Structures are given as C-alpha cells and as structure tokens.
Amino acid sequence: MVSVRLIRANDNKIKRMFNLPIALNELHLQNNRLTHFGPGTFRSMNSMLRLYLDSNNLTRLERGSFSNLLTLQTLSLGNNSIGRVPWEALEDLSALQYLYLNDNQIKALPKKAFGRLPVVFELRLQNNQINNVSEYAFEGMLQLLRLNMSYNNISFIPPDAFKGLVSLHTLDLSHNLLNKLENKTHGLLDDLLSLTSINVSHNEVAFVTEKTFPRSPYIPYKLKHVDLSHNFISVLTNSFDDGLGKAEYLDLRHNLINEVYPNVLRNLTSLRHLDMSYNDLRHIANGALTLPENVSWADFSHNKIFSIDLRDFLASQQLRHLDLRFNNVTMFEEMYMARIKDGLRLYYEGNPLTCDCHVKYLRQWLSHNPQATEWNSVVCHSPHHLHKQPLVEVSPDLLDCLTDEERELKGDDDGSAVDLKFRIVDSPSKRTIRFAWYVATKEDVSGFRAILSDVLTSSLMSETDIPYRYREYTINGLESSVEYRLCLVALDSTGGARSLPMRQCRTVTPVGAATRTVSSAPVLIVVLAALATAFVSELRFSSST
C-alpha cells in the first residue's frame, strides 16, 4: 500500500477520513458522507497532487485542514453546502492551481475573499447564491486565467472587483441579473488586460456604451470572443463597437435588436463569426448591416427582415455561411448567384419566396448541384400555381415573370400538359363558387385539391382535398366582393400534389356571373369558350363511338 498512487473511494458512505499511503498522488472521495475536516486530517504528504471532495456534506473548512498538502495542485469541493469562501483552509496551499467551489451556497465575495493564492489558474464559482461582490474581491490571484461566476444572483459588480486579475483571459458571467458592465466613468473589464473571452449571456443588459468593453490607445486589449446573447439590447449605436476592434466572435442572439446604426458592424474589422438571429430586425437601412470583410459566418435568421441591401451582406469576400431563414424576404436576388457558385451557403427556408424568373437560374444550378441541401426545404409562396411547392421540384419552365393577366392571356398556348380541365366555373349565388372538371391525363391521379386564394392580397384562403369520385364541387361561405383565384391540382396515389399548370387555375368573383378569364379581352373569352365546347363535344363523341 505504501506505493499506491491513485485511490478511487467515491460513491461510498464514508463519514470520516482514513489513513492514506504517503506516496498517494490522487484521491477521489466524491459522493460520500464527509462533513468536516479539521487540522491534522491529512498527515504530511509531499506527493498529493489532486483531491476530489465533491458531493459530500461539507459546510465549512477550518484553518489547517489542508496544511500538510504542500504539493496539492487541484482541489475540488463542488456540490457541498459551503456557505462562504474557506480562505483560512486554503492559505496553506501555496502550489494550488485549480480550485473548484461550484454548486455550493456561497453568497458573498468580500475583499480578498480567497486570501493569497498566487498560482491558481482556474476558479469555478458557478451555481452558488452569490449576490454581493466587493471591490478587490480577487486580489492576490495574480495568475488566474479562467473564472466562472455563472448561474448566481449577481445584479451589480463594482468596477474594481477584478482589480489585480491581469492574467485572466476567460470570464463567464452568464445567467445572472446584470444590467450593465460599467458606471459613468469606469468599465468593469478595464483591469483585465489579458481578457480574450467574455460570456454575459442570459442577463438583463439593455445598453452597450463606450465604457462596456475596455479600450485604450496605450493598452493592447485582446478581447476576441463576446457572448451577449439572451439580453435586452434593442439598438446597436455608434458606441457599440468601442472596445471590440479585435473581436472575432460576436453572439447577439435572442435580444430585442430592431435598429443598427450605419457602419457599426463594418467597424468590427477582425470579426469572423456574427450571430444576430432571433431579434426584431425589419427594414434594414443602407449600410446598417455592412459586414466586415473578414466575416465568414453570419446568421440573421428568425428576424422580420423584408428589405435588405445585398451589397451590405456581400461586402465580405470571405463570407461562406449566410443564414436568412424565417424572415419576410420575398425576392431572390440574382446578385447572390455568383457568390453561391463561389461557395457561399445561403439559407432561405421559411421566407415567403416568389418563385419567378429571378430564381430560374438558381433552380437550374440546383439541378446540377444536389450537394446544396440547404435549398431542399425552401418552398414557393407565390405565384398561386406554385404555392407550397418545394423549389427543387419546380420545373424551370414554370419560373417566369408573367403577370396573372399575361398568364391567362397565354392560355393553352404555353404547351404544358395538364392533368385536369375545367368544364365550368361559375357562381350560382353571391357566396359560392361551383366548378366541374374532368381528368385529361392517363398518369397516376387518385384525388384532387382545390386551392382558393385572394387575387388582390395573394393570401391563401382555403385548401380542400376532394375524393377521386367527384367531378363537381361547390365552395360556400365566400365574400361576394372579393375576387378569388381557384386552382385545381391532381393528387397522386401517395397523396402528393402533381404539377399545377396555369391552365388549371381560374379567376372568379362570387356574384352569380360566369368565370372571367380576362375582363379586358371579351373576344378572347368567347373564342376560348367556343374552342372548349367543341373540344368537349368531340371528346364525348369519341367516347361514345
């Protein structure tokens, strides 16, 4: 036993310490029933490096509890019931590098709360009940590199609280109640000369001022990773970029941002990763979202953007990932295509996309580039005959920029095959539309779907699936003053919708009159009606013979 280096005695019911081999390097006593350590608990052990006492019943640690562990480097006291920082018990640990006090009941950090621990590299204080942090709370921890204070009840930290932490490079203040990181004259982070990463997510920060992040013409601050997600920021003003000149990663998800001042983002010249998803962005003024030239990843999804200047987004030649999902963008700009062909992954799902001639080139490109799977979930919102159809399944021949009148005038001359042909579309009363049809294809047809939309607003009014045995149907309860577009699409045996040529759509107003194809072309209506009647008669004659 004398030469034993490692003992794992965790997950037992140990209530008091036992004799340890003098050569022991590492001891695991997690999840036991230890309640107290007094002076002399550990005899002189010059080889002990790591001691794990998590998940016991410790409430306090006396002076001298660890006095003989002069070589101890890691002390883990997490998930106990310790109510204050046990600085008296820690003062003898001159070699301590990693101190874990997370998941305890510590409420306050007074001045010099940890005594003198000059070589501690990492301190974990998350999941305590800290609500009071004093000035100079960490004085004496000159080599501290990583500090985690997340999941506490901290609403305010005085600017001098971190005084002396000149080596700190990672600070986690997430999941607290902070509403600012500065006062009128000093910033909380000014003394953190080596800070590279800060997490202030899940707090109550509403404004970012010129004092929030440290900056000085004489001090080369190094802040690169900033997480401000899940706060209450509504505007990015001209002072937002102060102190963020070297930031490479900026997370602003889940705020209330509805305005960005021009050139604020562009001034973040080192930025590579930007996340502004889940905000309230709508109309974007020119220059407001001009991306720095080094940005390679940008996420603006889940906003309400309907108007953008593409030159802002495409300003960065390094951009490889642009997420615009679930906004209100209706048009696809052909300006994107050159960048898409050059490797840009553009995410467009959840936008009310108009599938017209502007997406034709994209659709053709997708046919030859199936690896661009980000487009598989994009569906058309308009025009009516392509509503809800996946873009990757739409024939490029159907992607045009004709107006509805031009499509109706084009009529049967478009050369596309149809599954169904209308016999009649009329309005026998002021609140109904009646239509009859026949199947004009030998392809797989097992049912029908009637799609009714408002011509003026392009909004979908109803979708009705009709069994195959029906050849006539009436839609009731309509507004007599609204002009409707009725489209009838065939369903295959799997329930999927087949293609919808424009000739399977009609425009009608439920006022008792017959269908108007184009009100400005009555002669054309008569001619088409005559041709249709002749065609039906011929078809019936052929069937009877």
Residue 542 pLDDT:
41
Is the pLDDT at 43 greater than 50, yes or no?
Answer: yes
CA geometry: angle 451, 434, 465, nearest 5 deg: 35
pLDDT at 168: 98
CA distances (Å), origin 518, targets 170, 436, 486, 488: 68, 20, 14, 19
**Looking at the predicted structure, is the pLDDT value of residue 375 above 60?**
yes
How does pLDDT run across 126-154, given as a tens digit for each residue?
A: 999 999 999 999 999 999 999 999 999 99
pLDDT band at 513 (very low <50, low <70, confident <90, very high): very low
Those residues with Cβ within 8 angstroms of residue 315's Cβ, 6 or more apart along the chain or in another chain: 266, 290, 291, 292, 293
Band of the pLDDT at 521, cuts 50, 70, 90? very low
In tens, the pLDDT along 225-272 reads 999 999 999 999 999 989 999 999 999 999 999 999 988 999 999 999
pTM: 0.76
- List pLDDT tens digits, range 424-440: 888 887 788 889 999 88
pLDDT for position 1: 57
Q: What is the DSSP letter of 290?
A: P
Over range 496-506, report the average pLDDT. Answer: 85
What's the pLDDT at 257? 96
Q: Is there a contact between 157 and 212 (Cβ–Cβ < 8 Å)? A: no
Domain ranges in the chain are: 416-518
Q: How far is 400 from 428, CA to CA, in rounded Å?
A: 34
Contacts of 267 (CB under 8 A, 6+ apart): 241, 245, 292
Q: In the 8-state DSSP scheme, what is residue 526?
A: H
Residue 53, both tokens: 């006492």
Given a cut of 60, is residue 531 above it in pLDDT? no
194 vs 312: which has the higher pLDDT: 194
pLDDT of 402 strictly over 90? no
Give the pLDDT score at 523: 29
Q: Assess whether pLDDT exceeds 70 at residue 340.
A: yes
Reply yes or no on whether the pLDDT at 60 is more than 70: yes
As assigned by CATH, the class of the 416-518 domain is: mainly beta
Q: Write down the pLDDT at residue 454.
A: 83
- Which pLDDT score is estimated for 501? 83
Where does 29-151 have alpha helices with state H? Answer: 87-90
CB atoms within 10 A of CB 183: 12
Three-class SS state of 485: strand
pLDDT at 516 over 80: no
Question: Is the predicted pLDDT of residue 528 greater than 80, yes or no?
Answer: no
Given this model, what pLDDT does residue 312 score?
A: 80
Q: What is the pLDDT of residue 412?
A: 44
Q: Cα–Cα distance between 533 and 539 in angstroms, integer?
A: 10
CA dihedral sign, ordered 209, 211, 217, 221: negative
In this predicted structure, what is the pLDDT of residue 289?
86
Longest Cα separation, the chain: 112
Give the pLDDT band (50/70/90) at residue 376.
very high
Output the average pLDDT for the chain.
87
Q: What is the DSSP string of 311-359?
A: HHHTT-TT--EEE--SS------TTHHHHHHTT-EEE-TTS-EE-SGGG
Find out whether 353 and 332 touch, Cβ atoms under 8 Å.
Answer: yes
433-469 b/e (C-beta count within 10 Å ≥ 16 → b): bbbebeebeeeebebbbbbbbeeeebeebeeeebeee
Query: What pLDDT score was predicted for residue 403?
Result: 60
Statement: residue 517 has pLDDT above 50: no
Residue 529 in 3-state DSSP?
A: helix
pLDDT of the residue at 407: 55
Confidence of residue 406 (pLDDT cuts 50, 70, 90): low
